[in-house]
Structure 1
Amino acid sequence: MEPSIITIPIDREIKFKKVDLQILPQNGYLQSPIHTVCNLSNVKYYIRIYPNGYNDKTRGMAGIILQLFKGNAFNIDSDIMLCFESASFQKDLPKGNENGTTFGISKTSKFFDSKFFDNGKLIIKVKGTFKIILPLGIKYPFSAHWKIEESVLEALKSSNNGYLKSKRFNISSDSDIKYCIMIYPNGNKEENRGKAYVILQLQLGCETKIKADFNFSIDSALFSRLLTNVFEKSEGRGPFLCSTEDLFDPEKGYFVDGEMTLKVAGTLIIEKENIEPNVLSCKKGVASKAYQKHRGKEFTIFVGEKALKVRLFFS
């Protein structure tokens, strides 16, 4: 069976304020919001601007990074151009680059006095096409919000491997996959002591391999982390959140009025091998002679990016 291919045109304008870029330290950057290319594939990207380089090698050079996240795509063949119309500057990104790209814009000494800025703003246009190749498999989108009381979590900040766990969620009514969220304010093992982690705990049920693309976020603290993991057993995976000290620092914004709202959203992909597809040959909009063979079977119909599950019945 051939994988699905989705072609998505893109034409987006991203703006950064000049004054915000001017006050950044060495290696400092501004980052755009994370933009979704295609909800079905969960392919996303963001742009970062480094006015004075991102390491010693690039010091003195303003640069830009387009970071891509594959989501549940099998492959991405991008044909993208970044341009600054006010400076008549454009850059075609390498085709087929699945992780994004980095390139220099101008010397830092000239960057802020150049035509890159229009009325105090750096305006970047992202144009082109993404060709997204999706693997064969069953996809389950999921999302959850978890409200955590600061006093309850703070009681665990000095404990070793202490954690809080959310309630358990079912991924779907037609699956025995379950998940929950966990937070460790003082690390989940000795080498992580003094660091807070958030974890997606996945129970595979009868499945043996699941690919998970998921994003943890705390809006009040401007925290967002995208991850892709393959689960071959029931276990937990998740990102470093912040130091234990920063977690309970009121200025960091993790808690608002004594409460944190932790969000997780993503897609689980269960790849199925050696499965004969349900193929329905239709003429004039409705199948005729073949309907008895496929009666009662489930089909997925794609309308643009939207996947619709249907079951075929005839009276």
Structure 2
Amino acid sequence: MEPSIITIPIDQEIKFKKIDLHILRDSENGYLESQIYTVCNLSNVKYYIRICPNGCDDETRGIACITMHWFKGNAINIDSDLMLCFESANFHKNLKNQNGAGFGISKTSKFFDSKFFANGELIVKVKGTFKISLPLGIKYPFSAHWKIKESDLEALKSSNNGYLKSKRFNVSSDSDIKYYVMIYPNGNKDAYRGKTWVFLQLQLGSETKIKADVNFSIDSALFSHRMTQVFEKSEGRGTFLCSTEDFFDPENGYFR
């Protein structure tokens, strides 16, 4: 099986204060770094930008340089197609698949009097994509808390296949997998009539097979049910709660 690959778009604006860079104008290898930005929580891939106003080594002394660095995290491989832009100076540079690579922006002597600065700031824009290869067996922890009014469910007590559903949730910002919960107070088909069922509806997105370990719980009724299901298409899998009569019986504590 091939590893999972996710593509993350990047469009980040990073600002450096001119006064902070000017202090390093005559330094040897002095630099400022941006904060560290997370590309993908799942893989823990991160990146940052470094500015060296007077070069990053003897060969680049007298040249303001910029470099981009990233941390691989637990990714198997990273393909990047990124561009660093200084829009105020109409300047851009492609850094495709170049971790730790950089380039000269301008001679230091001219750098601070140039169009690279606007309102006392150097603004760098990072645009493009990271394509991240992840190992097999990725786990996405997820949880949802859904409050339902008893009156809304009571209205469906005698209906055939009547249901309520929660809002749709994303499993992760790094994935297009989505899910929501459905509850049928009087069953979702004739065979389940007179029974209350709850379902997890899973939308696979770009995935083709997902193993889901799920726990449904209703704390007030001391109800908890765990199940493991394999999804090979977008669909719902669920569990029986109790009879419809018992579900609305206040002594059973499903509502409070």
TM superposition score normalised by structure 2: 0.55
CA deviation digits over 1:274-297, x for unaligned, max 9? xxxxxxxxxxxxxxxxxxxxxxxx
Q: Residue 23 of structure 2 aligns with which residue?
A: 23
Unaligned 5+ residue runs, structure 2? Answer: 142-201, 214-227, 230-236, 240-256
CA deviation digits over 1:101-137, x for unaligned, max 9? 2111111011000000001100000001111111224
Q: Residue 56 of structure 2 aligns with which residue?
A: 54
Q: 1:301–1:308: 8 Å Cα contact kept in structure 2?
A: no
The 2-side partners of 1:22 and 1:74 are apart by 39
Q: Residue 91 of structure 1 aligns with which residue?
A: 93
Query: What is the RMSD computed on CA atoms of the aligned residues?
Result: 2.7
Give the C-alpha shift of residue 56 in structure 1: 1.1
The 2-side partners of 1:20 and 1:129 are apart by 30
- Rate the CA distance shift 1:308–1:20 in 2: closer, same or farther, 3 A: farther
Counterpart selection for 1:78 from 77, 80, 83? 80
What letter matches 1:119 in structure 2?
A: N
3-state DSSP class of the match of 1:21? Answer: helix
Give the C-alpha shift of residue 100 in structure 1: 3.6
- Rate the CA distance shift 1:303–1:309 in 2: closer, same or farther, 3 A: farther
Q: Residue 123 of structure 2 aligns with which residue?
A: 123
CA deviation digits over 1:243-290, x for unaligned, max 9? xxxxxxxxxxxxxxxxxxxxxxxxxxxxxxxxxxxxxxxxxxxxxxxx
The 1-side partners of 2:136 and 2:129 are apart by 22
Show the 5 A alignment for 1:209-248: none
- Rate the CA distance shift 1:74–1:33 in 2: closer, same or farther, 3 A: same
Q: 1:301–1:309: 8 Å Cα contact kept in structure 2?
A: no
Q: Residue 3 of structure 2 aligns with which residue?
A: 3
What letter matches 1:5 in structure 2?
A: I
CA deviation digits over 1:196-254, x for unaligned, max 9? xxxxxxxxxxxxxxxxxxxxxxxxxxxxxxxxxxxxxxxxxxxxxxxxxxxxxxxxxxx
The 1-side partners of 2:69 and 2:211 are apart by 30
TM superposition score normalised by structure 1: 0.45
Q: Residue 38 of structure 2 aligns with which residue?
A: 36
The 2-side partners of 1:138 and 1:16 are apart by 37
Q: Residue 245 of structure 2 aligns with which residue?
A: none
Identity of aligned residues (%): 70
Q: Residue 183 of structure 2 aligns with which residue?
A: none
Q: How many residue pairs were aligned?
A: 154
Larger-gyration structure (1/2) = 2
